[in-house]
Amino acid sequence: MSNPKKDIRALSKEELRRFFEAHGDKAFRGNQVYEWLWNKAAKTFDNMTNLSKATREMLENNFVINHIAVDKMQRSIDGTIKNAIKLHDNLIVESVMIPSKNRTTACVSSQVGCSLDCNFCATAKLKRMRNLNADEIYDQVVEIDKQSKLYHNHRLSNIVFMGMGEPLLNYKNVISAIEKITSPEGLGMASKRITLSTVGIPKMIMKMADEQVKFNLAVSLHSAIDEVRSKLMPINDKNNLASLLESLQYWYEKTQRRITFEYVVFKNHNDRQVDINALIDYCKKIPSKVNLITYNTIGEEEFQTADKQVIQKYVKHLEQNGIVVNIRRSRGDDIDAACGQLANKMED
């Protein structure tokens, strides 16, 4: 039987203020509850110690806090942590904490499963069950911030929306979560430390540009040749490279922030000179940089990591053409926590 009580975190601060006024209390009580819910990430009404017992009971009678729980946690030999996150309806998503020398990055999910069929990605094999609510996205960040403090003695420094799901297909909730994460009343993180990664949905990229969002944009490109990209990412049939480029140019015009292209080099798919040349041409049309990513196997024979010489060839030619390129080494692949491996497989 479904719970008739509303999740209190679906209410705005103004709605909370009105709730208290309607129940004969002072409006500022709503501000106090809002602070407990977001800034202090309270999981129960009993945690709200500056409220009277009667007030807490009234909240308990009217609302629930559908907080997440870390169901299982795995630690990699490189320090990466993968969390299996249990949601209030018992569905599971995964989030990852990636530590480096002076910072910690949270890789968070935006959907349960994924509706896109990228052929090389384990998450794509899962059926999309539902979108995550803003508070469920926020909670992942809170948990990873705690883990960063516990294991590395410093706060979480960066967030990437590169976990399960396509963030732009859950636009409203993702934007709402980012607003809470960056708000001084929430976690107070700087927008420039947040990166949203998308397969590239032109109309949504243009919408973000129109709304003048302050976070960074990364696009999973993997090929700058339509025929090759469509084989890797079927969404390219609907949103081809030309329409994607148009939306990215619009993004840059509005925000003045360059794009990061995420690019996995696969053996026998995009490892030819013609693939390198196409990427260079594409990058020259929009201020951008390239992250070359090592492919993480998901047991599909068709997809294998390209030879190191090919990746070095990419680097050499991109740099010769004045394009900033980084090689992103995989983290957490021993626990299936690396890019493209999130598929709710946790070892007991």
Active-site pick, 107, 118, 121, 339: 339
Per residue in 203-252, pLDDT (tens digit) is 999 999 999 999 999 999 999 999 999 999 888 999 999 999 999 999 99
Helix extents (H) in the chain? 13-22, 28-38, 53-62, 134-152, 171-182, 202-210, 226-232, 241-255, 273-283, 308-320
Domain boundaries of the chain, sorted by first residue: 6-64, 69-335
Tell me the whole-structure pTM to 2 decimals: 0.89
Per-residue 3-state assignment (H helix, E strand, C coil) for 50-111: CCCHHHHHHHHHHEECCCCEEEEEEECCCCCEEEEEECCCCCEEEEEEEECCCCEEEECCCE
The residues near 23 (Cβ < 8 Å, ≥ 6 apart) are 58
| Mean pLDDT of all residues belonging to the chain | 89
Cβ-in-10-Å burial (0-12, 13-18, 19+) of 293 comes to: buried
> Which CB contacts under 8 angstroms, 24+ apart, belong to 29-32?
29/55
Q: Tell me if residue 14 is catalytic.
A: no
Per residue in 293-305, pLDDT (tens digit) is 877 665 656 778 8
Q: Tell me if residue 339 is catalytic.
A: yes
- Neighbouring C-beta atoms of residue 263, cutoff 10 Å: 23
Separation CA 63–CA 80 (nearest Å): 36
Active-site pick, 21, 60, 94, 319: 94
For residue 126, pLDDT beyond 80: no
CA–CA distances in Å: residue 59 to residues 13, 69, 134: 15, 21, 21
Separation CA 87–CA 95 (nearest Å): 12
Paired strand residues for 97:
81, 106
Per CATH, the homologous superfamily of domain 69-335 is: Aldolase class I (3.20.20.70)
pLDDT band at 137 (very low <50, low <70, confident <90, very high): very high
Per residue in 34-57, pLDDT (tens digit) is 999 999 999 999 999 999 999 999
> How many CA atoms are closer than 13 Å to the CA of 250, on its beta-carbon side?
18
Per residue in 308-333, pLDDT (tens digit) is 999 999 999 999 999 999 998 766 55
Average pLDDT over residues 194-204: 96
Residue 303 has what pLDDT? 78
6-64 matches 69-335 in fold: no
6-64: CATH, from 1.10.150.530, 1.10.730.10, 2.30.40.10, 3.40.50.300: 1.10.150.530
